[in-house]
Structure 1
Amino acid sequence: MSASANPKIKAGFAPLLPGFVRVPYNDAAAIEQAIQANSDIVAVLLEPVQGNAGIIVPDLGYLQKVRQICDRGYSQRMDRLLELAEYTEERIRAFSHSQ
């Protein structure tokens, strides 16, 4: 419910989860721009074929592009998380040795 852009679907289900970033359907570049602009994005949720407004099928290659974008974004975020984990571990060790 939280991911929907349709107010009728959301009605009666508050409170909903915040933080969803919406981009135009079938626009891989918009997904990439959103990921680059917002380091809090951790996943991409999309309908491969939209059905509410009729059957809307994405352009050929769209889903593969989205997968490549997600793989790159995930890899970069994992690198940052691993760096943070290593730093945190070093700080914990330093603290426990000082006690």
Structure 2
Amino acid sequence: MDLISYRTPLGVCAGIAPFNFPAMIPLWMFPMATICGNTYVIKPSERDPTACMALIDLLKEAGMPDELLMSFMDSMTLLTLSVIIPISGLFHLL
């Protein structure tokens, strides 16, 4: 098996965080995407959005621009956004 990593911007990436790991899974997702220069859109779980939203608040308090990391609470907004702006990468863990 070959593994290749490219550290180049893809554009807009998105992630859907599950309820059972509300902080760990988003921390797998958006650090690498934003370090590589991508805008990241995250949809926290409706069951437990608190941890994910707290992470986003901490990052914005630390100085991360609003345009670099965005969050949406409902699936329809993320679906509408994906039609308007092509999403280059999607991370979802079942």
After TM superposition, the score normalised by the length of structure 2 is 0.38
Which is richer in strand? 2
Which is richer in helix? 1
Larger radius of gyration: 1
**Bigger relative CO (Cα 8 Å, ≥ 6 apart):** 2
